[in-house]
A and B are shown apart, each in its own frame.
Chain A
């Protein structure tokens, strides 16, 4: 990475330079100003940059060099499943027949696309053990909200209007309680026990006739499998609530167990995690939802169906919660996920989970002597360490994360989950080699040693990055959210 100040695209701007290549006007010109009320004709041009094509290319190439992706190096960001994003996926979605089809074309003209969507729905239903799937939600949180709205519709269809609460574990992703609020529920927390699992006694205490649902990731955000899932399902179902599965951690269990078989009623998946849609620097994602038979009639509309010889959209869904997104979901990400599933097949997907779990356990056991491991049992695809020993020596988890940058690694997720002090959440994924894992392990052990002998080195890291630690306090107190000349 180049160590230099990097101008904004606006700072390259010079009047008279252009980079566009628009067609010439080939129709008789009309005086547009005469056809529109003058009030609606823009008087001040928007200050978009005036730059040549090469300047744009250099600018964005430069920006890309100031960024770090999975292709750059190891990215063990827990709960985010930063695995390799296969190149064939990128080639497939760029085929004209996928990339340049319009959502309102007659369905007879897009049968190839509908077939892919339909096959993907069926594959996801099989992988999760659910009965029906909708590809409409745009991302994980969007899927969560969609699922909760279905659960809400389900209770209301039973004339049950008192189910106002959604239970979430204290270790849950932040989106869980936030989605509950947006869906009109009150989020209630259930505690974890000393093994890092949902405390059944506490669950029994919070569950009741006002429980709409329990939201759960399994394995949970500590990377631990909720062993008593059947008992939990029983408690919630007997109280009349429904079980929601947050599919963020599906990478741990494919081919081993399925949310549907564990008793979940609604599932969302993050196709940009487990199924290799790239994260794109924050999106786009795709968050399909799967449901049991009981809830199928509430799915967002339209539903893609297979008739005798063709695929069609069914809009006649009187119980549907309605539309949650325009058109049919993030098709571009769905096609990538489909390509991945076809590449791996059942055998490959099971190996994915097998190796994701082995990699995580190997790293966990290699690091547990130097970092506190709060929950000693085998983990699944990720694990959480605590930096509290290091904290006593004056080195915080944030410092360790920053020190990792000097060695070319993206740090783990830090300070999450909230129920572990100075948390470091590490998810290696299955696509990383043992050599890569060993390199990271050795670096982590070196940093633990630095913490003991020379903590300042860690406290003042990073040293090799293009910028040092940023002043985030001023950024929030005096926000500058746009460029001005």
Chain B
């Protein structure tokens, strides 16, 4: 059988074996001890032709309900937004997607400059001094931030609001375990971090306070109050933020945040079942040399021409090994590029407009739910998500909604038994008035 990715011919093989001085390729594997040789074929499916495989995988893909076949009101950290056509055309340029990390700046200026621009855009959105080239995703970026705060303050306890995304909290716990950090979860009150509870937990042992803005329930957290609590303390202030919301909301940098992280999936990255998305990590000048991951800096070449390089590499694993600030090596460069294109496309005006549209639609949906007699659970200001109490199994409701062409909201009972009947509904700029109206009608009709 011939394989289209393998150019070796019989003649090539013969000539190469002669050069190597062996009679068969098997001889090149003679250093593998007999006891561990695999003396059978791997038990895998037979090689499949391109057309057959495409047919089969298209069939598998078609089995999946998706946001193109159905109208989605599901968010909870992953959102259905407008993706400009130019995004996929750009990231399909194979000089970008088939390249490695830009170790050789002379032939990697394209990637390096694109990352430098991404770093700038993230700084602008968050109002922070420094942003890195990307992290795996928002939650792991947050967990890295938590670990950094412990290393920086030499303290072993962090406070996390329970309004942070539950999977982020889980990831923080997993990362903290490795470093022996204690994670204390702070309650919420009416869907917003309980500031009194937070104040009670705060003391000189606390490395950082972690808040999500807007939070998991879609509420806008009072960052100003948190800032006042941690001001003048060594405790660091870490904010996880949906970067789209920062088109309209005051950026965390203006509330004294030490580290701001989040996920740029909202800018040009499809949901693709939860990954790959793209974490961002922004911080202060003071913490620049503690930042995990790659950083691109501007410099000049021998002729004084502007150019870009990977810099401050003394932080990183390939130089510092066990003393590195993080073990991260691969990042999400291609998705950061996708987000850069989407952010460039929106520009200074579009980002505000898009954020504003999300708020408009969400508030309209809120009003419609209330008019239908449904309880909107939390009373605070919201961005593009809200919680309704349908007093009915959300899972069952979602099954019924599916029949009507909708992907319903997130069943909050999945994260807390006390939230039985609570549905977290996301309304983005691409949901039309008609879609919202019909969705509200259908939800109302089902719960009676």
- CB distance A341 to B44 under 8 Å? yes
* Known interface pairs A99-B66, A145-B178, A475-B298; 13 further A-B residue pairs with C-beta atoms within 8 A, sorted by A's residue number: A20-B346, A35-B363, A60-B93, A60-B337, A69-B97, A70-B98, A104-B410, A105-B65, A282-B330, A328-B275, A343-B53, A475-B309, A476-B297
Q: Which residues of A contact B314 (CB under 8 A)?
A: 476
Q: Which residues of A contact B407 (CB under 8 A)?
A: 102, 105, 109
- CB distance A20 to B345 under 8 Å? yes
Given contacts A256-B38, A471-B301, contact A182 B327 (CB under 8 A): yes
- CB distance A17 to B347 under 8 Å? yes
- CB distance A342 to B76 under 8 Å? no
Interface stretch (choices B200-208, B230-238, B352-360) = B352-360
- CB distance B109 to A326 under 8 Å? no
- CB distance B100 to A281 under 8 Å? yes
Binary CB contact string for chain B from 299 to 327 against chain A (1 if under 8 A, 0 otherwise):
11111011111011110111111111011
Q: Which residues of A contact B129 (CB under 8 A)?
A: 482
- CB distance B60 to A365 under 8 Å? no
In the complex, whether B101 has a CB less than 8 A from a CB of chain A is yes
- CB distance B353 to A141 under 8 Å? no
In the complex, whether B417 has a CB less than 8 A from a CB of chain A is no
Q: Which residues of A contact B306 (CB under 8 A)?
A: 5
In the complex, whether A101 has a CB less than 8 A from a CB of chain B is yes
In the complex, whether B286 has a CB less than 8 A from a CB of chain A is no
- CB distance B170 to A323 under 8 Å? yes
In the complex, whether A91 has a CB less than 8 A from a CB of chain B is yes
How far is the CB of B275 from the nearest CB of chain A, in Å?
4
Given contacts A138-B276, A326-B167, contact A56 B319 (CB under 8 A): no
In the complex, whether B194 has a CB less than 8 A from a CB of chain A is no
Give A343-391 interface residues, CB cut-off 8 Å to B.
343-352, 354-355, 357-359, 361-362, 365-366, 377-378, 380
Could you tell me the distance between the alpha carbons of A68 and B329 in the complex, rounded to whole angstroms? 20
Among B6, B351, B432, residue most surrounded by chain A Cβ atoms (within 10 Å): B6
Instruction: State the majority secondary structure of interface residues on A.
Output: loop
Interface stretch (choices B18-26, B369-377, B385-393) = B18-26
Binary CB contact string for chain B from 157 to 170 against chain A (1 if under 8 A, 0 otherwise):
00000000101101
Question: What would 22 A/B residue contacts be, using CB atoms closer than 8 Å?
Answer: A37-B381, A46-B125, A60-B86, A66-B110, A67-B99, A67-B111, A69-B95, A111-B63, A113-B61, A138-B330, A139-B328, A175-B327, A285-B330, A323-B170, A332-B273, A359-B16, A362-B20, A469-B302, A471-B299, A471-B302, A476-B312, A482-B123
Interface stretch (choices A74-82, A202-210, A236-244) = A74-82
In the complex, whether A95 has a CB less than 8 A from a CB of chain B is yes
Given contacts A9-B344, A50-B348, contact A112 B116 (CB under 8 A): no
- CB distance A339 to B53 under 8 Å? yes
- CB distance B345 to A431 under 8 Å? no
Q: Which residues of A contact B66 (CB under 8 A)?
A: 96-97, 99-102
Could you tell me the distance between the alpha carbons of A391 and B105 in the complex, rounded to whole angstroms? 23
- CB distance A91 to B330 under 8 Å? no
In the complex, whether A440 has a CB less than 8 A from a CB of chain B is no
Q: Which residues of A contact B345 (CB under 8 A)?
A: 19-20, 53, 56
CB nearest neighbor in A for B54: A88
- CB distance A26 to B433 under 8 Å? yes
In the complex, whether B184 has a CB less than 8 A from a CB of chain A is no
- CB distance A46 to B246 under 8 Å? yes
- CB distance A92 to B276 under 8 Å? no
Given contacts A48-B344, A181-B323, A256-B37, contact A27 B433 (CB under 8 A): yes
How far is the CB of B382 from the nearest CB of chain A, in Å?
8
Given contacts A282-B331, A326-B168, contact A57 B89 (CB under 8 A): yes
Given contacts A45-B348, A257-B36, A325-B171, contact A69 B31 (CB under 8 A): no
Partner of A281, one of B5, B337, B347: B337
How far is the CB of A359 from the nearest CB of chain B, in Å?
8
- CB distance A434 to B399 under 8 Å? no
- CB distance B100 to A482 under 8 Å? no
Q: Which residues of A contact B363 (CB under 8 A)?
A: 30, 32, 35
- CB distance A182 to B46 under 8 Å? no
- CB distance B301 to A468 under 8 Å? yes
- CB distance B288 to A481 under 8 Å? yes
Partner of A27, one of B65, B117, B354, B360: B360
Given contacts A48-B347, A358-B25, A358-B28, contact A60 B276 (CB under 8 A): no
In the complex, whether B179 has a CB less than 8 A from a CB of chain A is yes
- CB distance B98 to A279 under 8 Å? yes
CB nearest neighbor in A for B53: A342
How far is the CB of B342 from the nearest CB of chain A, in Å?
9
Could you tell me the distance between the alpha carbons of A222 and B109 in the complex, rounded to whole angstroms? 30
Q: Which residues of A contact B48 (CB under 8 A)?
A: 342-343, 345
Could you tell me the distance between the alpha carbons of A412 and B205 in the complex, rounded to whole angstroms? 48
Given contacts A140-B330, A181-B322, contact A326 B299 (CB under 8 A): no
- CB distance B64 to A98 under 8 Å? yes
Binary CB contact string for chain B from 27 to 70 against chain A (1 if under 8 A, 0 otherwise):
11111110111100111111110100110011111111111110
Could you tell me the distance between the alpha carbons of A472 and B301 in the complex, rounded to whole angstroms? 9
Give A19-44 interface residues, CB cut-off 8 Å to B.
19-23, 25-30, 32, 35-37, 39-43
How far is the CB of B13 from the nearest CB of chain A, in Å?
7
Q: Which residues of B contact A258 (CB under 8 A)?
A: 36, 38
- CB distance A331 to B274 under 8 Å? yes
Binary CB contact string for chain A from 405 to 421 against chain B (1 if under 8 A, 0 otherwise):
10000110000100000
In the complex, whether B264 has a CB less than 8 A from a CB of chain A is no
Among B35, B65, B316, B326, residue most surrounded by chain A Cβ atoms (within 10 Å): B65
- CB distance B136 to A284 under 8 Å? yes
How far is the CB of B368 from the nearest CB of chain A, in Å?
9
Could you tell me the distance between the alpha carbons of A86 and B6 in the complex, rounded to whole angstroms? 12
Could you tell me the distance between the alpha carbons of A324 and B167 in the complex, rounded to whole angstroms? 9
- CB distance A358 to B312 under 8 Å? no
How far is the CB of B209 from the nearest CB of chain A, in Å?
18
Q: Which residues of A contact B43 (CB under 8 A)?
A: 126, 346
Given contacts A102-B74, A345-B48, contact A465 B107 (CB under 8 A): yes
In the complex, whether A183 has a CB less than 8 A from a CB of chain B is yes
Q: Which residues of B contact A483 (CB under 8 A)?
A: 116-117, 120, 298
Partner of A470, one of B64, B88, B278, B309: B309
Q: Which residues of A contact B420 (CB under 8 A)?
A: none
Among A25, A72, A94, A329, residue most surrounded by chain B Cβ atoms (within 10 Å): A25
In the complex, whether B296 has a CB less than 8 A from a CB of chain A is yes
Partner of B347, one of A50, A257, A432, A482: A50
- CB distance A36 to B5 under 8 Å? no
How far is the CB of B226 from the nearest CB of chain A, in Å?
12
How far is the CB of B108 from the nearest CB of chain A, in Å?
6
Partner of B250, one of A20, A43, A333: A43
Partner of A480, one of B36, B121, B297, B359: B297
CB nearest neighbor in A for B137: A326
In the complex, whether B436 has a CB less than 8 A from a CB of chain A is yes
Could you tell me the distance between the alpha carbons of A479 and B346 in the complex, rounded to whole angstroms? 28
- CB distance B324 to A278 under 8 Å? no
- CB distance A149 to B174 under 8 Å? yes
In the complex, whether B259 has a CB less than 8 A from a CB of chain A is no
CB nearest neighbor in A for B225: A39
Q: Which residues of A contact B271 (CB under 8 A)?
A: 99-103
Binary CB contact string for chain A from 138 to 151 against chain B (1 if under 8 A, 0 otherwise):
11111011000100
Q: Which residues of A contact B82 (CB under 8 A)?
A: 21-23
Could you tell me the distance between the alpha carbons of A480 and B138 in the complex, rounded to whole angstroms? 25
Partner of A86, one of B5, B46, B61: B5
In the complex, whether A272 has a CB less than 8 A from a CB of chain B is yes
In the complex, whether B104 has a CB less than 8 A from a CB of chain A is yes
In the complex, whether A280 has a CB less than 8 A from a CB of chain B is yes
In the complex, whether A64 has a CB less than 8 A from a CB of chain B is yes
In the complex, whether B350 has a CB less than 8 A from a CB of chain A is yes
How far is the CB of A323 from the nearest CB of chain B, in Å?
4
Partner of A42, one of B94, B247, B296, B331: B247
- CB distance A46 to B348 under 8 Å? yes
Given contacts A36-B220, A101-B273, contact A482 B130 (CB under 8 A): yes
Could you tell me the distance between the alpha carbons of A470 and B107 in the complex, rounded to whole angstroms? 11
